[in-house]
Amino acid sequence: MEIIETRTTPIEGQKPGTSGLRKKTHVFMGPHYLENYVQSIFDGIGGVDGKTLVLGGDGRYFNDRAAQVILRMAAANGAAKVIVGVGALLSTPAASNLIRKRGTDGGLILSASHNPGGPEEDFGLKYNGPNGGPASEGVTDRIYAATQTITGYKIAEAHDVDLSAPGTHRIGPMEVEVIDPVTDYAALMEELFDFDALRALFSGGFTMTFDAMHAVTGPYAKTILEGKLGAAAGTVINAEPKPDFGGGHPDPNPIWAKPLVDRMMGGDAPDFGAASDGDGDRNMIVGRGIYITPSDSLAVLAANAPLAPAYAGGLAGVARSMPTSAAVDRVAEKLGIDCYETPTGWKFFGNLLDAGRATLCGEESAGTGSDHVREKDGLWAVLLWLNILAKSGKSVAELMADHWQTYGRNYYSRHDYEDVDAGVANEMVEELRGRLAELPGQEHGGLTVESATEFSYDDPVDGSRSARQGLIIAFEGGARAVIRLSGTGTVGATIRLYLERLETDPAKLDADPQDALAPVIAAAESIAGIKERSGREGPNVIT
Ligand code: VG1
Ligand code: CO
């Protein structure tokens, strides 16, 4: 094997965000861009000599080419083995599972998740550690530091590895094991859930639509739902992964998965609707006539998880990201278990899961997961919902109504202002940060500010501190607005405004969230002036 050592210089901006490095595809395809970053990952984790890695991605444009480059670089850097999915495909949770199951030293996942794909759209790459989870901030800091001092990278001269079918190949001494991307994941799901009860559910006439959004979950959902569980053919729609996701945003929310939500609200809706994102870690749950917010979904799953075999013994604890609603906190309180509040991004759940302190975790951004892997997991959430429906005999709407009657309803919404000028967005946050101390006691839009703080997280397991994780404005009476800037976008800045208000009056549980939250929305605008500063009439995405 001939190793080519190429000289290079640091490329600006290779700083991993909330979930790895995401850039426009053409940026990733630029000279040395991918290579610099891959070498920096290798250097940042102390080299890959003798190590075994997992490799796969969501199938977006450039996924296949990037995988071949990474294989040649892993070989040149002395890796012993790389396990890669057929077609270089692996959903994010399936990659996490493989890293754990095969005891590897980590893995590289090619994805920009819910961002659109294609030559004009987005690409991404992230490193997950030996626990199967996204690299901690300590590790991403070392990777970023490596990108700033890099002087060269190593790549093997070799032909493309045939990734079209399972088999074993070599690049020099390095072994490349090509595996079916679905098999191990499907086996894991079968261990966690009551597949007999799910088969009985479907054979009893239960109907469902799963929108794979032309992304990576198609083959997984087909194998599990239609293959193993006997759901009718055609249950999984948009099942074929495409490099441009059929031209859409593979983001499972009422905006980008509108056709499914419309179908669920119509006269011929199936019993259950669900969707997942580009890399298979997000989920959307819709019942007949009712959309379930991710925050509520987490709470319902926590309250009912013991109906599934894997969680029959109860939950050790739960965790949610700070901007996620406190619906799950109320469940934890009733169960008498711990509830942790972490910064946005799945990497912060890793230590809690590893330490056995949390069993279920979730984020308001359609991410739910458990200690079965170290990523959020879209299909897992769908299967847990199905298991709960099968065992409780209730419909989605009944389950949700019962839940709100018991715990009250945390009305919740997120308003996104996308592609705002980065300078304007940073200045807005900066300025508001400077005013936090003077806000308590002030009245805005009829609400009185109780406290105004900036969220910092002290990891209870390793003691590390993550500062500046979002501004929280709490109002008297329990409502809250949170403002933070996205760390996954590739153009300009995205301002996220998260709004929440608890309602416990049993007669007021069926309002439209935008109406129920109107005072909080008005107060947040009065305080932060997002519309005014961004020059927008309103948010461009409301979930
Ligand atoms: C967003 C979500 C966050 C999620 C992250 C990665 O981050 O808000 O909850 O963990 O995306 O999800 P940000 O920084 O843009 O708010 V995925 O499915 O895109 O990997
Ligand atoms: Co994702």
Could you give the count of Cα atoms lying within 13 Å of 316 in the half-sphere of its Cβ? 12
**Ligand 2 midpoint to CA 281 (Å):** 5
**Contacts with 500 (C-beta within 8 Å, 6 or more apart), sequence order:** 325, 326, 410, 411, 412, 479, 480, 481, 482, 517, 520
Q: Is any atom of ligand 1 closer than 6 Å to the C-beta of 39?
A: no
Looking at the 3D structure of the chain, how many domains does it have? 3
395 and 256 in one domain? yes
Q: Is any atom of ligand 1 closer than 6 Å to the C-beta of 126?
A: no
394 and 314 in one domain? yes
Q: Which atom of ligand 1 is nearest to the CA of 115?
A: 19
| CA-to-CA separations, 29 to 119, 124, 278, 327, 407, in angstroms, rounded | 9, 11, 20, 43, 50
321 and 286 in one domain? yes
401 and 474 in one domain? no
370 and 456 in one domain? no
Q: Which of 181, 211, 237 is the last residue of a domain?
A: 181
Q: Which atom of ligand 1 is nearest to the CA of 18?
A: 14
151 and 123 in one domain? yes
Burial of 402 (0-12, 13-18, 19+ CB in 10 A): middle
Q: Where are the alpha helices (DSSP H) in 234-326?
A: 258-265, 294-304
Q: Which one of 15, 18, 415 would you pick to mutate in the ligand 1 pocket, going by the greatest count of ligand atoms within 8 A of its CB? A: 18
Q: Which residues fall inside 5 Å of ion ligand 2, going by CB? A: 113, 277, 279, 281-282
416 and 375 in one domain? no
Contact 1, 75 (CB under 8 A): yes
**91, two tokens:** 């959903």
pTM score above 0.80: yes
C-alpha to C-alpha distance for 468 and 482, rounded to whole angstroms: 12
131 and 7 in one domain? yes
The DSSP letter of residue 306 is G
Contact 370, 270 (CB under 8 A): no
Q: Is any atom of ligand 1 closer than 6 Å to the C-beta of 35?
A: no
pLDDT digit string (tens) for the chain, length 543 residues:
899 999 999 999 999 988 899 999 999 999 999 999 999 999 999 999 999 999 999 999 999 999 999 999 999 999 999 999 999 999 999 999 999 999 999 999 999 999 999 999 999 999 999 999 999 989 999 999 999 999 999 999 999 999 999 999 999 999 999 999 999 999 999 999 999 999 999 999 999 999 999 999 999 999 999 999 999 999 999 999 999 999 999 999 999 999 999 999 999 999 999 999 999 999 999 999 999 999 999 999 999 999 999 999 999 999 999 999 999 999 999 999 999 999 999 999 999 999 999 999 999 999 999 999 999 999 999 999 999 999 999 999 999 999 999 999 999 999 999 999 999 999 999 999 999 999 999 999 899 999 999 999 999 999 999 999 999 999 999 899 999 999 888 888 999 999 999 999 999 999 999 999 999 999 999 999 999 998 999 999 999
Q: Which of 158, 181, 204 is the last residue of a domain?
A: 181
Domain range spanning residue 443?
A: 409-542
Q: In what order do the strands lie in the sheet with 236-237?
A: 236-237, 208-211, 272-276, 283-287, 290-292
Among 162, 32, 22, smallest CA distance to 84 is for 162
453 and 339 in one domain? no
C-alpha to C-alpha distance for 276 and 537, rounded to whole angstroms: 30
Q: Which of 340, 374, 407 is the last residue of a domain?
A: 407
**Ligand 1 midpoint to CA 441 (Å):** 33
C-alpha to C-alpha distance for 448 and 523, rounded to whole angstroms: 9
Give the residue, by CA position, lying nearest to ligand 1 atom 19: 113
Per residue in 413-457, pLDDT (tens digit) is 999 999 999 999 999 999 999 999 999 999 998 999 999 999 999
424 and 391 in one domain? no
What CATH number has the domain bearing residue 77? Answer: 3.40.120.10
Which residues belong to the active site? 113
100 and 20 in one domain? yes
Q: How far is CA 163 from the centre of its chain?
A: 27
C-alpha to C-alpha distance for 174 and 408, rounded to whole angstroms: 57
Burial of 493 (0-12, 13-18, 19+ CB in 10 A): buried
ipTM of this complex: 0.97
What CATH number has the domain bearing residue 459? Answer: 3.30.310.50
**Ligand 2 midpoint to CA 377 (Å):** 9
C-alpha to C-alpha distance for 342 and 325, rounded to whole angstroms: 12
Q: Is any atom of ligand 1 closer than 6 Å to the C-beta of 297?
A: no
> How confident is the prediction for the chain on average, in pLDDT?
96
Contact 332, 302 (CB under 8 A): yes
Q: Is any atom of ligand 1 closer than 6 Å to the C-beta of 445?
A: no
366 and 484 in one domain? no
**Contacts with 226 (C-beta within 8 Å, 6 or more apart), sequence order:** 232, 233, 235, 236
**Ligand 2 midpoint to CA 393 (Å):** 31
Q: Which one of 298, 413, 488, 491 would you pick to mutate in the ligand 1 pocket, going by the greatest count of ligand atoms within 8 A of its CB? A: 488
